[in-house]
Structure 1
Amino acid sequence: MQTADIRQRWLDFFAARGHAVVPSASLVSDDPTLLFTVAGMVPFVPYLTGIVPAPYDRATSVQKCIRTNDIEEVGKTPRHGTFFQMNGNFSFGDYFKEGAITYAWELLTTPEADGGYGFEPKDLWVTVYEDDDEAIEIWKRVAGLPEERIQRLGKDTNYWHTGQPGPAGPCSEIFFDRGPAYGADGGPATDDDRYVEIWNLVFMQYLIADVKSKTDFRIVRELPKKNIDTGMGLERVAFLKQGVENMYEIDQVRPVLDRAAELSGRRYGADHDDDVRMRVIADHIRSSLMLMSDGVTPSNEGRGYILRRLLRRSIRAMRLLGVEGPTFSELFAASRDAMKAAYPEVESNYSQILQLAVGEEETFLRTLSAGTSILDLAVAKTKDSGSPELAGDTAFLLHDTYGFPIELTLEMAEEAGLAVDRTAFDSLMHDQRSRAKADAKSKKKVLADLSVYADMRAKGETIFTGYTELAQDSTVLGILVDGRPAPVAVAGQTAEVILAETSLYAESGGQAPDQGRIVGDGFELEVLDVQKPVKGLISHTVRVTAGEVGTGVAATTLVDEEYRRGATQAHSGTHLVHAALRQVLGPNAHQSGSFNKAGYLRLDYGWNQALSPATRSEIEEIANDAIRDNLQVVTREMPLDEAKQLGAMALFGEKYGDIVRVVDIGGPWSRELCAGTHVTTSAEIGMINIVGESSVGASNRRVESLVGRDAFQRFAAERALVGELTSTLKTRPEQLVDRVGELVASLKAAEKKIQAFEAKALGDRVPDLAAKAQRTGDVLLVAEAVGSLGSGDELRQLALSVRGKLGDAASVVALAAEVGGKPLAIVATSPAARDAGANAGALAKLMASTLGGGGGGKPDLAQGGGNDVGAIPAALAAVRAELGR
């Protein structure tokens, strides 16, 4: 049974039983506490918790999910996958335990010919929460399960809650017995791979509080409406129904595994370690494909970091299979072909996805090359020192700075006959993670528990009137102070205010929130932020500047007219720049992100090379020509499918509802789905001045532009600057570039002459310094202060020249100078001096300790520095004393 068939049977089964079929939500979760959608129930949490009224009594979905907490287990077990699909059926105060158990048993055991999954009842086991006698009775009655195939387990496995106060309840899990070939008898309680969990039924029936851990909480009462949340692992059922050993061998994943095997020349099934690597590649490529199809791009933080890690682990696994060249174009194509039937967007967005993937691969392959060179030097140095172990800080440097996987460092060090100090490496990694966690905690925005919005949301949705109105009379539905409901907020306090209607735009679609005020009888509020904390509600973060505001009172929202004008200019300007980019570069220059506020816009787009000055000017000119042409800006609302048929551009990675807003500028010249605020004609934008273009990733570029008055002010400032320069240099504006070029050339020629004079002056000092060599212990020693120098390179060259002047003698040259206001020391030794036991690195470290700093280096040449220029004589004396012993 193919995975697509399993998926469709699920949806058909529950649709026939009155469930609304809900499309999968994006992998990018709307929940601010989650990076990704980690379970099938995540999109339904507002309905399950009662924060948002459910639009249906029962629903079903096949939800895309990503989990990365078990990433190290991928490929090693039959069931751990980063990307997976969760079949779910949900009841919001409708059916409860008996209905959920009845549906589950019916679908699992109905023969395939009749639309079911055809599992044999004798192969199925269930677990229930230890005190849930009701569920046990239902399983016996509905399924006819004997007592011995129903196991009672504790809260750690069979009780569900969010980890916060709110709804909770016992679970019942269904397991498939793979047979004695896979482990010992004893049922799911044995926690063995023989028993594979395929379906979890959550009976959400209690309100809990005082949550201290997964197992430590207090049950407050039963919920007035009991809910059902279930999840079946689609990949787990697929590998069981397809008769393969694990989820990596099912029809949606195996093609990538096979392509990795072909590219590497290795055979799957011949070697355990190679098999794990192929399974990692198959999982990570598919996971990356699905993440990128939902708009995630590689970066160094958040979701982008997770994606980058998956991609780099894939490259590393291919390298360990013996493939050092690029492979993503082959591997991603295999995954696309396996997934496009279930998710057509992976094919429609494939050009952007592949561009991102290949760009990341090229970058990391270069990183691996650079890291390999550094590792080779570190290995050689370690061997020279006689140590059998590569230093942990070297391995950490490679990992942290160059993105060089520790596994690759271990492998290459082992090939060179060295171990790696894992204890030191792991300690440094632990310290880094601790710092990162502390930093993340300090930066994390304090968000109110979303349940505090439930009562307000129950009163209806906040109506946004700001497309046509700048002032709107309304009513205060609720107030939060310090994240908790409050009857009033008084002067000086910062609070969240929820209104029935508002003209203030909430941040979304890349557009910053409006600025403005909220006023009423006896109070005035300064608006600091406008957000959408839960679907349907708009929250205004305000500072109470006068009086006090209470719930239920009348209030009027007032948008800052000048700020809104600038914001609409910037958002419409973003559309113009996007259209101009695509006109010049082609359709692959697809917007991947944006931000705009009054006077400024930023647009990220898929492209892998910098814009030339001529191309940048052309894009700017096209956008400003569209402003000059005074194009009409028309907004319409329509069904999503109709908008796409009209050619409206759905931006890569954005999430849209069934009804969308289409913004046309000049008819089809620029036609995008967009919920932002816009001008009515393009001439209102005024002017676009592109001020920056830069890289924001391997295959992503960023254009930054000033808009309207801000754009004009930049041009005016640049005109004033040109005027001042032409006056100072006594030339005309059109001759300014040539005049500056002449001056730069003259300056460079003068610098060369100065360098030549300085080099001669340094050379003239060499004989006098060499003449000061004195026998000290077993060597000739020059230990002198040479005053102030322009750079460390000058001091280093002087020391080497003096050492050369002393010929083959056993000589040590220790020079110190003031460079940039700080002391610097250089020590150079001849081969004969090193044979006599003199070590430049040790002597430089000795001098540096006296100077109040650190130093070291190789036995023949080393340097040190510090902060105390006055300690130079003492540092030189320390060298004399050390060598004179």
Structure 2
Amino acid sequence: METAEIRRRWLDYFERNGHTVVPSAPLIYDDPNLLFVNAGMVPMKPYMLGQQTPPWQRATSVQKCLRTGDIEEVGKTSRHGTFFQMNGNFSFGDYFKREAIELAWGLLTAPQSEGGYGLDGDKLWPTVFKDDDEAFALWRDLIGIPAERITRRDENDNYWSMGVPGPGGPSSEIFIDRGGEYGAEGGPSVDEDRYMEIWNLVFMQDELSQVRSKADFDIAGPLPSRNIDTGMGLERIASVLQGKDNLYEIDEVYPVLAKAAEMTGRRYGEHSGHAATSSHPDDVHLRVVADHVRSSLMLIGDGVTPGNEGRGYVLRRMLRRAVRAMRLLGYGGTALPELLPVSLDRMKASYPELESDFGRISQIAYGEEDAFRRTLDQGTTILDTAVTKAKQSAAALGGGSTPTLPGSEAFALHDTYGFPIDLTLEMAAEQGVEVDRDGFRRLMTEQRQRAKDDAKAKKSGHAHTEVWKELRALGATDWQAYQALSTEGKVVGLVSDGERVEGLGEGATGQVVLDRTTFYAESGGQIADEGIITTPTGELRVIDVQRPVKGLVVHTVEVASGEVKVGEDVQAQVDPDWRISACQAHSGTHVVHAALRQVLGPSALQSGSYNKPGYLRLDFAWSSALSAETRSEIEEVANLALRQDLPVSSQYMTLPEAREWGALALFGETYDEQVRVIEIGGPWSRELCGGTHVAHSSQIGALTVTGESSVGSGVRRVEAFVGMDAMRYLATERAIVAEAARLVKAQPGELVDHIEALLARLKHAEREVATLRQQQLQAQAGQLAASATGIGGVRVLTHDAGDAGADDVRTLATSLRDRLGDGEPSVVAVTGTAKGRPLVVVATNARARERGIKAGDLVRTAAGVLGGGGGGKPDIAQGGGTDASAVGAALEAIEAQLHNLAGTR
């Protein structure tokens, strides 16, 4: 039975049993404590914690999940993976233990011909919490399982909580006996390899007051409303129903592994009698490829783009680990264009949106692989240089010491260039060089600590969420930002330094919660409104508006005069100029997005945006820079839409209805059951959006594109001004053109031709100056050659050329070497200073090199005095530094080194 069919049967079964089918939330979820959804119940947390009223009593879902805590272990065992899907059924104050157990047993054991999974009930072993006599009795008496097949376990195995005060309860897990070839008999307590868990039923019945650890907590009493939360790993049940040993061999994963094996000429499992348990590097690499390609497909599909931090870094790391694994398997070509379509083919049955969006997804993935391949090439060059240096250092020490690459260099390769440490270890070992692993680990630990400290600092912004939960419990904010700019309201709560207070005095800064407001809270890329709140005795300036918890609008204010107290009636007034400019910018963002798709095609999808009064920026999926002509065309299409005075309207509908209607959703956003669709000019622009907008496109006024740039692999950014800011920008540009035309004494229309002519004359003059300088140097060389001195039988000529660039210094050095001839050993060293930075060039003739004198060695000596470094070939080498006052000392250092070589000092 294919995984998509297992998924379909799950949803159909619970829908037939009165459950509402809830679509999977995106992997990116609106929770400050989570990078990704990591469990099937995460979207249900607000209902379980009592923060929100569930819209249904019974629900079921197949939730996309991603866990990256042990990403380094992926592939090394058959258990570790990153992306997975969790089947769940939930009851909120409806059914409880009896029905949950009956429903689970019914689906598992019903014949496949009747829509079930057709498992043999005699192979199923339930576990229950040690004190849960009710669950034990239900399994024994209701289901008919012999008591010896029901295992009682303690808090570590069969009690569930969120790790914080709140709901918790005993659980009942269902295991399946896979047979004697997997281990010893005797049940889950004896061997959890043979007896594999496939379903966990959680009976939320307790209110926990203290949670000190998974097995140490206090129960304050029963929950007011008992809930059911169950979870079945889709990949795990698929392995059972498909007769496979592990997730890597099921139908949604194995085809990628097989394709990777075909591309690399490797055979999965050939080094072991059992592929699933093989730890041979080839099998590990193949499993890494299979897991990471699928996970990357799902992450990009949900709006994540590769980056250097947070979610983007996780994606980048997985893509690069997959590419690197292919290289380690001996495949040197571009891999993802071969592998990603295979994963799409297996996943699109469950997630059809992946196929329609594959143009964007593949563009991002392939762009990242191309960038990483360049990184590997660059890193290999840098590593080779570092390895050579390590060998030279070991040789200088003598005594047969092993060459060692410093941990700092390995860390720089990893951190600065993205070069994986395991590749550094492998490539260094191939050349007989060890790596200072302890030094590398120390630097990595320091970096991780900095990251933790940074995350802790950021997380502290959420330290007072309990305050917002308390205020939210008093009722949701009546939010009227779409209807009006001014409204009367009552002060529900005041917060200062994270604590609730009764009042704020003049000059204070704090947060105000009203029962009703017209202020727009920052979301969807649009910044918050500004304005004032007038109290009976004073005035508050609103400087920010946020939603710390769903349904609650919080205003950050500065008390300009008087005071504000809890319970007072106030007047909330949005700055009308601010709002209209913000509306122009947000509607302008939609117009630019539609123009991009019209000019570039449907794959140019928005991946992020930011807009404030008068300004917008939009990130979109695209792999190459836009030409000036393309930018101009996008700007023209956008302004034609403004000129046509297209109507702007909003409608509410369900998310499936919006998708069917063709509305575009911003990747990575979380949407409610009911969504708001903004339409500009009918189907020309339809997007899910909660922002404020103009009523007609002409009200945007004007739109001018000011820039376009790269912000990551496969992602470009376009910036623009709208309204009066666009007019001011164009006025400034016009003034610059007029001034430039005045300076070159030309009409504005002739400016380009005049500038091109000036540049041509300038280049001609620069060539003439260069020619004269070369002639001057040649003439000077003749005089300098006569000043060469002797050191130990070597003719030595050192000279400071003053303000001279690298080309001039190099030319002079080679010219002087040629003039000294090959009759006897000769060394020439010339310094110069360009833009305040010193440089040095050393040239040697063949006779000098025969005596072991190398230009690179002499340059490194001089560059060290200059505060820098350098190198090159034995016949000519170049270096530089930062201390221009030390050029004389640098030349003296070269002479001193020659004396040492000759033994004359």
TM-score normalised by length of structure 1: 0.90
Deviation at 1:642, TM superposition (A): 4.3
1:762 to 777, 781, 788: 777
**Pick aligned residue for 1:750 from 755, 765, 774:** 765
SS where residue 789 of structure 1 aligns?
Answer: coil
Partner AA of 1:273 in structure 2: P
Structure 1 residues 489, 129: closer, same or farther in 2, change over 3 A? farther
CA contact (8 A) 1:79 1:236 kept: no
Q: 1:706 aligns with which of 699, 721, 742?
A: 721
Moved more, 163-172 or 735-744: 163-172
Most deviating of 792-801 and 343-352: 792-801
Q: How far is 1:131 from its partner? A: 6.6
Deviation of 1:659 after TM superposition, in Å, equals 2.8
1:331 aligns with 2:339: yes
CA distance in 1, matches of 2:844, 2:128: 77
Counterparts in 2 of 1:81-480, with a 5 A limit?
81-96=81-96, 100-101=100-101, 103-112=103-112, 115-126=115-126, 144=145, 146=147, 150-155=151-156, 158-184=158-184, 187-189=187-189, 193-208=193-208, 223-271=223-271, 272-375=280-383, 392-393=407-408, 395-414=410-429, 420-442=435-457, 446-480=461-495
Residue 748 of structure 2 corresponds to which residue in structure 1?
A: 733
For residues 663-742 of structure 1, the aligned pairs below 5 Å read: 663-742=678-757
Q: Residue in 1 aligned with 2:674?
A: 659
Q: Distance in 1 between matches of 2:460 and 2:775?
A: 61
Distance 1:479 1:777, change over 3 A: farther
Match of 1:599 among 584, 609, 614: 614
Task: Give 2:805's aligned amino acid.
Answer: S
Match of 2:398 in 1: none
After superposition, the Cα gap between the structure-2 partners of 1:454 and 1:582, relative to the gap in structure 1 and judged at 3 Å, is same
Q: CA deviation at 1:142?
A: 5.4
* 8 Å Cα contact 2:868-2:882 kept in structure 1: no
RMSD: 3.4
Moved more, 439-448 or 34-43: 439-448
Q: Which moved more, 1:691-700 or 1:836-845?
A: 836-845
AA partner of residue 545 (structure 1) = A
Who is 2:25 aligned against?
Answer: 25
Is structure 2 residue 56 aligned with structure 1 residue 42?
no
Go from structure 1 to structure 2 and tell me whether the alpha carbon gap of 1:91 and 1:776 turns closer, same or farther (over 3 Å shift): same
Q: In structure 2, give the amino acid aligned to 1:44.
A: M
- Cα offset for 1:716? 0.7
Deviations 1:204-243 (A, max 9, x none): 4555567666566666555444443332111111101211
Q: In structure 1, how many angstroms separate the alpha carbons of the residues matched to 2:851 and 2:95?
A: 90
2:871 is matched with which residue: 857, 860, 865? 857
Deviates more, 1:23-32 or 1:381-390: 381-390
The verdict on how the C-alpha distance between 1:807 and 1:445 changes in structure 2, with shifts beyond 3 A counting, is farther
CA distance in 2, matches of 1:706, 1:578: 14
Q: Deviations over 1:418-444 (max 9, x none)?
A: 555544444444444344444444555
Amino acid at match of 1:65: C
Query: Are the counterparts in 2 of residues 639 and 658 from structure 1 also a CA contact under 8 Å?
Result: yes
Greater CA drift, 47-56 or 135-144: 135-144
- Decide whether the 8 Å contact of 1:812 with 1:828 is kept in 2: yes
Contact 2:176–2:198 (CA<8 Å) still a contact in 1? yes
Deviation of residue 283 (structure 1)? 1.7
Contact 2:411 2:443 in 1 (8 A): yes
Counterparts in 2 of 1:146 and 1:570: CA distance versus 1, 3 Å = same
Amino acid at match of 1:501: R
User: Once the 2 structures are TM-superposed, how far is the Cα of residue 560 of structure 1 from its aligned partner?
Assistant: 1.2
Counterpart-to-counterpart distance in 2, 1:854 and 1:260: 46
Looking at structure 1, the residues matched to 740 and 471 of structure 2 have their Cα atoms a distance apart, in angstroms, of 61
Alignment partners' CA distance in 1, 2:892 and 2:374: 47
Percentage of matched positions with identical amino acids: 56
Residues 756 and 42 from structure 1, CA distance in 2 versus in 1: closer, same or farther, beyond 3 angstroms? Answer: same
**Residues 455/433 of structure 1: CA separation in 2 closer, same or farther (3 Å cut):** closer
Question: Unaligned stretches of 5+ in structure 1?
Answer: none
Quickly say closer, same or farther: Cα 1:638–1:199, change in 2 above 3 A. Answer: closer
Determine the C-alpha separation between the residues in 2 that align with 1:165 and 1:802: 82
AA at the equivalent of 2:707: G
Task: Tell whether 2:802 aligns with 1:788.
Answer: yes
What is the aligned counterpart of 1:514 among 496, 507, 529? 529
Quick check: 1:584 aligned with 2:599? yes
- For 1:55, the equivalent position in structure 2 comes to 55
- Letter of the aligned partner of 1:349 in structure 2? D
Cα deviation digits, residues 281-300 of structure 1 (max 9, x gap): 22222212222222222233
Deviations 1:756-775 (A, max 9, x none): 23333333443444444333
Q: Which residue of 2 aligns with 1:6?
A: 6
Q: Distance in 1 between matches of 2:767 and 2:446?
A: 47
Match of 1:73 in 2: 73
| Counterpart secondary structure, 2:461 | coil
Give 1:505 deviation, angstroms.
Answer: 1.2
Say which is worse superposed, 654-663 or 104-113, in terms of deviation. 104-113
1:86–1:394 Cα change, 3 Å: same
Contact 1:834 / 1:859 at 8 angstroms: preserved in 2? Answer: no
Distance 1:364 1:414, change over 3 A: same
1:49 deviation in Å? Answer: 1.2
C-alpha deviations, 1:305-347, integer Å up to 9, x for none? 2222222222222333333323433422222222222222112
- The change in CA–CA distance for 1:818 and 1:126 in structure 2 (over 3 A counts) is same
Q: Which runs of 5+ in 2 are unaligned?
A: 272-279, 396-401
Residue 489 of structure 2 aligns to a residue whose secondary structure is strand
Pair 1:682–1:148, CA change in 2 (3 A) = closer
